[in-house]
């Protein structure tokens, strides 16, 4: 799956120590199927050589508006007309100021000014010292660039080359890659607020033991990413999993089923779509011990259990769901007879769409196969990566929402 196949990206480097990240970014763009043309300022060449970027991009690097390789001596025109997007990474404080002022005294700024604004977007990944980033002049320039139609990709937080810590770091290459993929994704869910539950829950028996399951949360996290790519505001309620939060997604961490129930109910008031991907434990110990239960040779202690609340059914039968304000999608992880169990669960939970899968075949894996069950029957989606399936599911949900609004 090459998310940027067929895209031609002009990668612009201005002066800054973050130029070293541009090397990895260039490689990542190519791995996703894009072609990359590197354009560097004279200052950028003080931090990383054109030879390095040429080797990585597999194209000659441009750095001067007087480059005689352009037959018409108009490299700034030719390069910008060929691009699907211009990405400036890193964008220094000086280069951002230059863009705001419309100055064009080198090839990179000249190209940005000459680009056809209606079809060649300009994406900017700032990189500078924290004091420079916080300075009112830089913040005015950031706001003006956005007002002028540029897309600011934000900054990272952490240690800086100068030894200080704070805002202003250039985002990491994989973060920028995700942002670029999301930028090009169709915004099928623009205006929607999607609530996703993901992962297992953990039901404590004592302070160190509990009941859980093998869910990794990967499917739910992929759905959260796909929904964000599709333009939705996304809130992810996650059980105890060790997964990175998708870019642009608000995450709420929970542990138990009761925690997840409370978080989902609280977040559902703002949501327009609820996708219940989490593998919530059906039962919990009725009386968790305050101290670790010790083995004493008499066998396992007798434990009582109570049923956990049904999060999906609660939200699917809420007034907002009944009025059509909240579209609910359920998940069923089964071990056998998937169609029968998924069909019955959809009817029991009263949801318009139920997504079924075989749990033992997908828990912890990077791929999956889905069965979409609605009132008209079932559709099989063959095995694929979880992100690819998530994007197909998001597109299907967007189609259903559009039909619902007609």
φ/ψ (deg, to 5) at 87: -115, 115
Nearest by Cα to 92 from 114, 109, 104 = 109
The pLDDT of residue 358: 86
Count of beta carbons in the 10 Å neighbourhood of residue 155: 19
Residue 320: which pLDDT band, with cuts at 50, 70 and 90? very high
Closest by CA position to 47, among listed 90, 4, 78, 9: 90
Confidence band, pLDDT 50/70/90 cuts, at residue 70: confident
Least confident interval from 36-45, 353-362, 381-390: 353-362
Q: How far apart are the C-alpha atoms of 389 and 366, rounded to whole Å? A: 11
Query: What integer is the mean pLDDT of 11-30?
Result: 97
Rounded average pLDDT over 202-227: 95
Which of these, 154, 31, 27, 9, lies nearest to 90 by C-alpha position?
154
Q: Where are the domains of the chain?
A: 8-184, 193-405
Identify whether the C-beta of residue 330 lies closer than 8 Å to the C-beta of residue 374. Answer: no
pLDDT of residue 171: 96
Q: Band the pLDDT of 396: cuts 50, 70, 90.
A: very high
Residue 193 is predicted with a pLDDT of 98
Confidence grade of residue 29 (pLDDT, cut at 50, 70, 90)? very high
Q: Taking residues 148-155, what's their average pLDDT?
A: 96
Angle at the Cα of 240 (from 235 to 244), degrees rounded to 5? 60
pLDDT surpasses 80 at 95: yes
Report the C-alpha gap between 352 and 372 in whole angstroms.
10
Check residue 299 and give its pLDDT: 80
Q: What is the mean pLDDT of residues 306-333?
A: 95
Catalytically active residues are 162
- Angle (deg, nearest 10), helices 107-114 and 93-101: 40
Residue 210 CA to residue 227 CA, distance in Å, equals: 32
For 275, the enclosing helix (H) or strand (E) is: strand 273-276
Query: Which pair of structure tokens corresponds to residue 123?
Result: 């994406």
Q: Is the pLDDT of residue 390 over 80?
A: yes
Q: Rounded mean pLDDT of the chain?
A: 94
- Alpha carbons 363 and 352: distance in angstroms, whole number: 25
Of 397, 85, 15, nearest to 223 by C-alpha is 397
Give the residue, 110 or 68, on which the prediction is more confident: 110
What backbone phi and psi angles, to 5 degrees, belong to 238? -115, 130
Peptide bond into 90 cis (omega under 30): yes
Confidence label for 306 from pLDDT (cuts 50, 70 and 90) = very high
Q: Does pLDDT of 1 surpass 70?
A: no
Residue 67 has what pLDDT? 82
pLDDT at 298: 82
Q: What is the pLDDT of residue 367?
A: 92
Q: Report CA 210 to chain centroid distance, whole Å.
A: 31
Q: Supply 103's token pair.
A: 């100055």
Q: For the chain, how far is it from start to end, CA to CA, in angstroms? A: 34
Residue 348 has pLDDT above 70, yes or no: yes
Please check whether residue 195 is in contact with residue 235, taking contact to mean a CB–CB distance below 8 angstroms. yes
Asked if residue 46 lies in contact with residue 15, where contact means CB atoms within 8 angstroms, the answer is yes
Task: Give mean pLDDT, residues 77-94.
Answer: 95
**What is the architecture of the domain spanning 193-405?**
3-Layer(aba) Sandwich (3.40)
pLDDT, tens only, 229-246 = 999 999 999 999 999 999
Q: Determine the 3-state secondary structure of 12 from DSSP.
A: strand
Mean pLDDT, range 264-286, rounded to an integer: 96
- Average pLDDT of 369-377? 94
Domains 8-184 and 193-405 share a fold: yes
- Hey, what CATH topology would domain 8-184 get? Rossmann fold (3.40.50)
Euclidean distance between CA atoms 292 and 289, whole angstroms: 7
- What would the two tokens of residue 309 be? 């609340």
* Total residues belonging to the chain: 406
Residues whose CB falls within 8 Å of the CB of residue 3, separated by 6 or more in sequence, listed in order: 32, 33, 181, 184
pLDDT greater at residue 70 or residue 84: 84
Q: Closest Cα to residue 26, out of 52, 63, 5?
A: 52
For 23-49, what is the mean pLDDT?
A: 97
Once rounded to an integer, what is the mean pLDDT over residues 290-317? 90
Instruction: Reduce the DSSP state of residue 18 to 3 states and report it.
Output: coil
């Amino acid at each position: 799956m090459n998310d940027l196949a067929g895209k031609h990206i002009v990668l612009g480097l201005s002066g800054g120590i973050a130029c070293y990240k541009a090397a990895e970014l260039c490689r990542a763009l190519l791995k996703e199927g894009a072609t990359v043309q590197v354009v560097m300022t004279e200052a950028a060449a003080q931090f990383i050589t054109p030879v390095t970027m040429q080797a990585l991009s597999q194209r000659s690097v441009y750095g001067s508006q007087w480059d005689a390789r352009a037959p018409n001596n108009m490299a700034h025109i030719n390069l910008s007309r060929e691009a699907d997007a211009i990405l400036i990474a890193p964008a220094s404080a000086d280069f951002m100021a230059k863009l705001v002022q419309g100055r064009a005294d080198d090839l990179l700024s000249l190209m940005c000014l000459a680009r056809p604004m209606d079809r060649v977007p300009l994406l900017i990944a700032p990189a500078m010292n924290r004091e420079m980033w916080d300075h009112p002049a830089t913040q005015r320039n950031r706001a003006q660039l956005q007002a002028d139609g540029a897309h600011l990709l934000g900054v990272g937080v952490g240690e800086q080359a100068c030894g200080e810590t704070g805002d202003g770091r250039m985002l990491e290459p994989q973060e920028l890659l995700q942002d670029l993929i999301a930028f090009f994704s169709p915004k099928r869910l623009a205006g929607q607020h999607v609530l996703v539950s993901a992962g297992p829950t953990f039901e404590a028996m004592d302070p160190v033991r509990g009941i859980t399951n093998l869910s990794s949360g990967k499917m739910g996290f992929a759905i959260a990413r796909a929904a964000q790519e599709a333009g939705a505001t996304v809130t992810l309620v996650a059980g105890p999993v060790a997964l990175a939060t998708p870019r642009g997604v608000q995450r709420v961490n929970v542990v138990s089923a009761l925690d997840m129930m409370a978080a989902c109910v609280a977040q559902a008031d703002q949501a327009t779509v609820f996708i219940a991907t989490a593998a919530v434990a059906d039962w919990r110990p009725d009386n968790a011990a305050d101290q670790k239960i010790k083995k004493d040779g008499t066998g396992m202690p007798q434990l009582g259990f109570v049923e956990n609340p049904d999060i999906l059914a609660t939200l699917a039968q809420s007034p907002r769901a009944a009025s059509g304000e909240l579209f609910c999608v359920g998940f069923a992880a089964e071990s056998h007879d998937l169609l029968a169990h998924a069909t019955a669960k959809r009817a029991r939970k009263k949801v318009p769409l139920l997504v079924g899968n075989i749990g033992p075949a997908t828990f912890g894996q990077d791929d999956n196969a889905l069965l979409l069950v609605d009132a008209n029957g079932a559709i099989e989606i063959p095995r694929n990566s979880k992100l690819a399936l998530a994007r197909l599911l998001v597109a299907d949900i967007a189609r259903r929402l559009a039909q619902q609004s007609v």
